[in-house]
């Protein structure tokens, strides 16, 4: 009888440890997703500042029209290729993976009662 209780206790401990690891994984994936979202926001801010400042600079300093035109063209190029930058794809994939890990963790929490009861 004691051996069967010990085996049950080991199974419960193993299940609990895996549930804790799953929650930790979900948190790490969410942090990574949020970091990628910050990179995407930074790129958007740089693009917006570049576009706005070049138009203002162009109107004030007309002698440097070529410089302002190049900055504006680079800003538009960044806007065109942003879908192909790795941050966008990684953020989407991390978002999907975070949702899946959270779903698995919720399922594991519901199953924990059965495992705990033996």
Span 2-61, pLDDT tens digits: 556 666 678 788 888 888 999 999 999 999 999 999 988 888 888 888 777 777 777 777
Give the residue with greater pLDDT, 88 vs 31.
31
- What pLDDT is attached to residue 7? 64
| 19: containing domain | 2-117
0.85 exceeded by the pTM? no
What is the C-alpha to C-alpha distance for residues 88 and 39, in angstroms, rounded to an integer? Answer: 9
Contact 39, 87 (CB under 8 A): yes
What is the widest separation between alpha-carbon atoms in the chain?
Answer: 91
Query: Residue 1's pLDDT is what?
Result: 46
The tens digit of pLDDT for each residue in 71-80 reads 888 888 888 8
Closest C-alpha to 49, from 83, 79, 89: 79
The pLDDT score that the predictor gives to residue 4 is 60
**Encoded tokens for 1:** 């009888």
Contact 36, 90 (CB under 8 A): yes
* The total number of structural domains that make up the chain: 1
């Amino acid at each position: 009888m004691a051996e069967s209780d010990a085996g049950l206790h080991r199974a419960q401990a193993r299940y609990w440890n895996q549930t804790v690891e799953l929650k930790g994984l979900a948190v790490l994936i969410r942090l990574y997703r949020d970091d990628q979202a910050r990179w995407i926001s930074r790129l958007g801010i740089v693009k917006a500042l570049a576009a706005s400042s070049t138009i203002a600079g162009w109107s004030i300093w007309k002698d440097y029209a070529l410089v302002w035109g190049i900055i504006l063209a680079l800003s538009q190029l960044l806007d065109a290729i942003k879908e192909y930058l790795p941050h966008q794809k990684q953020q989407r994939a991390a978002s999907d993976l975070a949702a899946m890990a959270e779903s698995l963790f919720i399922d594991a929490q519901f199953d924990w009662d059965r495992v705990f009861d033996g």
